[in-house]
Amino acid sequence: MLFRKYQTEGFFDEMFTAAGKVRPHYKTLKQRFDELSLKEFDQKRQSVDLSFMRLGITFTVYGDSEGTERIFPFDLVPRIIPKSEWEYLERGLEQRITALNMFLRDVYHEQRILKEGVIPASYVLSAKHFRPEFMGIKVPRDIYIHICGTDLIRDEKGEYLVLEDNGRCPSGVSYVMENRQAMKRAFPNLFESAGVRPVDSYAHDLLNTLRYVAPNGKDDPTVAVLTPGIYNSAYFEHSFLAKEMGAHIVEGGDLLVRDSKVYMRTTRGLEQVDVIYRRIDDDFLDPSVFRPDSALGVPGLVNAYRAGNVSLANSIGTGVADDKVMYYFVPRMIKFYLDQEPIIPNVPTYLASEKEDYKYIMENTAKLVVKSANEAGGYGMLIGPKATAAEVREFQKKIKAEPRNFIAQPTISLSRHPTFSDLSQMEGRHIDFRPYILYGDKIRIMPGGLTRVALKRGSLVVNSSQGGGSKDTWVLYGDE
Amino acid sequence: MEMNEMMDVLSTVGCLLLVTPIDFFMLSRVANSLFWMSRYLERAESIARIVDVNLQSLLDYKTLDDKSLKEQWGPLVKTLGDEETFAKLYKKEDSRAVTEFLTFNESNPNSILSCIVSARHNARSVRDQISLEMWEEINRLYLFIRSKSTRNLWQQSPYDFYREVKQSSYTLQGLASATTVHDEGLEFAMMGRFLERADMTSRILDVKHGILSMTEASGADLGFQSIQSAAVLRSSSAYEAFQHVYSSQITPVQVAEFLLLADSFPRSVRFCMRTFDHFLRKMSGSAPGQFVNEAEKLSGRLVAELNYTTIEEVMGIGLHEYIDSIQLKLNEIGLAMFESYILYQKTELEEEIRMQRQVQQQ
């Protein structure tokens, strides 16, 4: 009886209603889990942790001279999404990536959306990741964001909201697939009765997406995954995807640009590369154009891309759409380009650079979540209700100095999910959700995604660098 | 079946049908990592065997004083490790200090631990090129050598500890052959294995060249010599093979002959280099007796030399001197291979940046 003492404590709980009744899509799972004791459950958990260690599914802890590797904490209670809810999410995500790609196409060409005053031009031009060098450059099939990992949350009523669009190098997808494998090993009999959609076609879909954007529609392009290398915390994922796709995994030093073409150094000499799935940020991509101190990139790569001899996924300059100030305008983009209302709403957002919003933010800092426009991983952020008065004052100074760099949002009480706690019992923990969207010949959304969970009691921060873990996410064929 | 259920099934089937073989070339960095991965594994295995044999042969001594311990261990530190590092870290060359140094010491790049860490590092950087089975085994070996309980095992039962290391290396050789594609990647791995093995066999002989070269031993010395000869054979896991071939009392010259020149023993220098040469030629497809690069020239020359040399000639030159010349040649061959296949078009980053900026300004 794993859930006997479980309390929802007034939060929106994914598995139980406020009255403590199990939701229909969790029924089968609850039945099966109820057959286990907490002790048996804990044993399964330990053996799963061991298997991650044995398989080397680990990330390297930064700044540790011994090169210590850790596993990404994994919780065995899966998060379940029923069919109708998933179809709603799919529609919303499809709408969003379509609008974002149209926006990027527009700001790097005609800039209609700026000229017509829908988004103030100054916001785009001042965005940290806007790349004026790319104005007027044609990218293959007009696709900028090929791989997107939109972060979604649910509020206290259970409504889905978009928290941010990750249109640069969203990571975590390998964990989705490895988590599923781990669940299958731990509960081999659970899946046949549960009606869970498989996630394993992702690598195949990704390869198709990458091949679709090959230069000049080349038939049998050579595809490579560009990684910063073995010490990067996402290296496992890079090699996982390369292996699953049958693509080469390359480091900057493996590539060479000659006559605006990109080549790999092989044992047989130089071989041309056509499509690069790069897992290196713009800034580090080409030291002859961007940061000259970057040893991770490839001198001349940007020029080869401009010349149309190599395709990059995602394209250069997509970071402008990741700017949290630009996030505020996504509903307007949807209206402007598609003439639709947003299907999945944004979290209400205040811009510190707008006069009235600024006043509101300064008067209510302690109630709000304040975020800097271009930080990720849960950094550069103030959670007002959890901060001390001194921390609030410190942040207000920063906002005053650089209003363009800050936005604020009301503190959303994220939905909770039963999670095996450090006290070896089931307790509610806050979660979010990152589905993975591929934009190629068509839009493909993996039926699943990464559910991240804040393992510390009461914490709202789900990032792995700050005490977060993950869960397997089940999208069902049906509604129960 | 519902619509989306069918789509999932279809896309999985599509996945199976659409497997196209990827282009058949290998990154130089990958080739290098595969080469070194197997070299380090072979080195860890050899050192495990040598240390184990030495520990066991100590059991045959009547009395053990500092001097005889030093005689036993000193040459090992010299040939397998780095005397200076050792002298900095340890007061005396006793069993405990030397075995610790050769097994777990992290400042000794050739300790078993360091070799396994390096092998795993290389394996990790080519994780997409080796099979899951191989990766799991290398990772298991790594976690084993890193774990605290392994230290206890080593203290309580060194025999079991070293056996575990050797066993893992054998398993990996089997896995490489049974679970990976036999293509260029495996060829590089094999070259790493056999070049290292040739080098190690020659080192093992060299450690005991003094004793093996004593021609007129008698009485107590004779017994000592025969114990040492057996130890040399065991260090190359050649004891049984030797008995099988010679079926007589072990003489030092025969030991040297067997380990250097045996035609079909898989750890003799001759056998190793013939195998190395075979894989080297497979890369270019050049016929025996011909060469297309420096590596093939040097390798072919060494194989010919080993094919047409007698042990009497070797002893005439002097065992130590001969082994020295062999090791020099092994180094040259390794370097030449590196230059032919790995170091293709090396460029300096600064120079690249400057050049690419010039291109962009045109």
The 3-state secondary structure of B53-117 reads HHHHHHCCCCCCCHHHHHHHHHHHHHHHCCHHHHHHHCCCCCHHHHHHHHHCCCCCCCCHHHHHH
pLDDT digits (tens, 9 = 90+) for B174-226: 999 999 989 999 999 999 999 999 999 999 998 887 777 766 555 667 777 78
Do the Cβ atoms of B14 and A204 come within 8 Å?
yes
Closest CA to B294 of B248, B341, B250, B258: B341
CB contact (8 A) between residue B356 and residue A288:
yes
Residue among A234, A231, A227 nearest A149 (CA): A234
How many other C-beta atoms are found inside a 10 Å radius of the C-beta of residue A115?
10
Q: Residue B15: what pLDDT?
A: 43
Report whether A148 contacts A167 (CB < 8 A): yes
CB A476 within 8 A of CB A83: yes
Is there a contact between A72 and A467 (Cβ–Cβ < 8 Å)? no
- Residue A133 in contact with partner chain B when CB distance is under 8 A: no
What tokens appear for B194 in the block?
A: 């056999």
pLDDT of residue B11 exceeding 50, the answer is no
pLDDT reported for residue A1: 74
Type and span of the H or E element at A70? strand A69-70
Residue recorded with tokens 């002959």: B257
Contact B356 A257 (CB under 8 A): yes
Nearest C-alpha in B relative to A231: B125
Could you please state the CATH topology (level 3) that the domain comprising A201-313 is classified under.
Rossmann fold (3.40.50)
Q: Where are the alpha helices (DSSP H) in A190-234?
A: 190-194, 202-212
Over residues B246-264, mean pLDDT: 89
CA distances from residue A12 to A18, A89, A158, A470 in whole angstroms, order as listed: 7, 18, 6, 19
Q: CB neighbours (10 Å) of residue A270?
A: 17
Pairwise CA distance, residues A272 & B104, whole Å: 44
- For an interface test with B, give the residue of A83, A267, A294, A302 to mutate (most B CBs within 10 A): A267
Nearest to B192 by CA among B15, B41, B303: B41
pTM of the model: 0.89
Q: What is the mean pLDDT of chain B?
A: 87
Percent residues over pLDDT 70 in chain B: 88
Q: Does A15 touch chain B (CB under 8 A)?
A: no
The span from the CA of B239 to the CA of B253, in Å, is: 14
Q: Average pLDDT in the B105-122 region?
A: 95
CA distance B71 to A218: 68
Assigned fold of A350-410: Dna Ligase; domain 1 (3.30.1490)
- How confident is the prediction along chain A (480 residues), in pLDDT tens digits per residue? 789 899 999 999 999 999 999 999 999 999 999 999 999 999 999 999 999 998 888 876 665 555 677 888 999 999 999 999 999 999 999 999 999 999 999 999 999 999 999 999 999 998 989 999 899 999 999 999 999 999 999 999 999 999 999 999 999 999 999 999 999 999 988 888 889 999 999 999 999 999 999 999 898 999 999 999 988 888 999 999 999 999 999 999 999 999 999 999 999 889 999 999 999 999 999 999 998 888 899 999 999 999 999 999 999 999 999 999 999 999 999 999 999 999 999 999 999 999 999 999 999 999 999 999 887 666 778 999 989 999 999 999 999 999 999 999 999 999 999 999 988 899 999 999 999 999 999 999 999 999 999 999 988 888 877 788 999 999 999 998
SS3 content of chain A, % helix, strand, coil (to 5): 35, 20, 40
What are the residue ranges of CATH 3.30.1490.270 in chain A? 350-410
- Write out chain A residues lying below 8 Å of B28, CB-based: 254, 265-267
Which ipTM score applies to this complex?
0.84
- A241: nearest Cα among A213, A205, A286: A205
Report the 10 Å Cβ neighbour count for B133. 16
- Over residues B77-100, the pLDDT tens digits come to 888 878 888 999 998 888 889 999
Strand, helix or coil for residue B214: coil
Contact (CB, 8 A) for A199 and A446: yes
**DSSP helix, strand, coil percent of chain B (3-state; round to 5):** 75, 0, 25
For tokens 């199976």, the residue is: B16
Kind of pairing, strands A223-226 and A275-278?
parallel
* pLDDT band at B19; cut points 50, 70, 90: very low
Contact A338, A148 (CB under 8 A): no
Neighbours of A10 (CB within 10 A): 11
Provide, as residue numbers in chain B, all residues whose Cβ is less than 8 Å from the Cβ of A248.
22, 27
Whether the CB of A447 is below 8 Å from some CB of chain B: the reply is yes
HEC sequence for chain B: CCHHHHHHHHHHHHHHHCCCCCCCCCEHHHHHHHHHHHHHHHHHHHHHHHHHHHHHHHCCCCCCCHHHHHHHHHHHHHHHCCHHHHHHHCCCCCHHHHHHHHHCCCCCCCCHHHHHHHHHHHHHHCCCCCCHHHHHHHHHHHHHHHCHHHHHHHHHCHHHHHHHHHHHHHHHHHHHHHHCCCCHHHHHHHHHHHHHHHHHHHHHHHHCHHHHHCCCCCHHHHHHHHHHHHHHHHHCCCHHHHHHHHCCCCCHHHHHHHHHHCCCCCCCHHHHHHHHHHHHHHHHCCCCCCCCCHHHHHHHHHHHHHHCCCHHHHHHHCHHHHHHHHHHHHHHHHHHHHHHHHCCCCCCHHHHHHHHHHHHHC
Distant-in-sequence, close-in-space partners of B215: CB < 8 Å, separation ≥ 6: none
Q: Across the interface, which of B25, B347, B359 has its CB nearest the CB of A266?
A: B25
DSSP A345: P
Q: A221 and A231 in contact (C-beta within 8 Å)?
A: no
User: Chain B contact for A479, CB < 8 A?
Assistant: no
In sequence order, what are the beta bridge partners of A437? A148, A445
A246 to B341: CB separation less than 8 angstroms, yes or no = no
State the best of B353, B355, B358, B362 to mutate against chain A, taking most chain A CBs within 10 Å.
B353
CB-CB contact of A449 with A471 (8 Å): no
Res. B289: pLDDT tops 90: no
Look up residue B86 and give its two tokens. 């050792």
Preceding amide of A374 cis, omega within 30: no
Work out whether the CA dihedral B146, A238, A240, A44 comes out positive or negative.
Answer: positive
Domain with CATH 3.40.50.11290 in chain A: 201-313
Min Cα separation A108/chain B (Å): 20
Q: How far apart are CA A95 and CA A445, in angstroms?
A: 12
Contacts of A220 in chain B (CB under 8 A): 20
**Relative orientation angle of helices A235-245 and A202-212, to the nearest 10 degrees:** 80
- The predicted pLDDT at position A454 comes to 95
Q: Decide if B29 and A251 are in contact by the 8 Å CB cutoff.
A: yes
The separation between CA B212 and the C-alpha centre of its own chain, rounded to angstroms, equals 23
What are the structural domain ranges in chain B?
A: 25-180, 184-342
Measuring CA to CA, which residue among B246, B235, B253, B250 is closest to residue B312? B253
Number of Cβ pairs < 8 A linking chain A and chain B = 124
For residue A439, how many other CB atoms are within 10 A of its CB?
Answer: 25
Pair B26, A271: CB distance under 8 Å: no
pLDDT attached to residue B21: 43
Counting Cβ atoms within 10 Å, is residue B272 exposed (0-12), middle (13-18) or buried (19+)?
buried
**Inter-chain CB proximity A197 and B342 less than 8 Å:** no
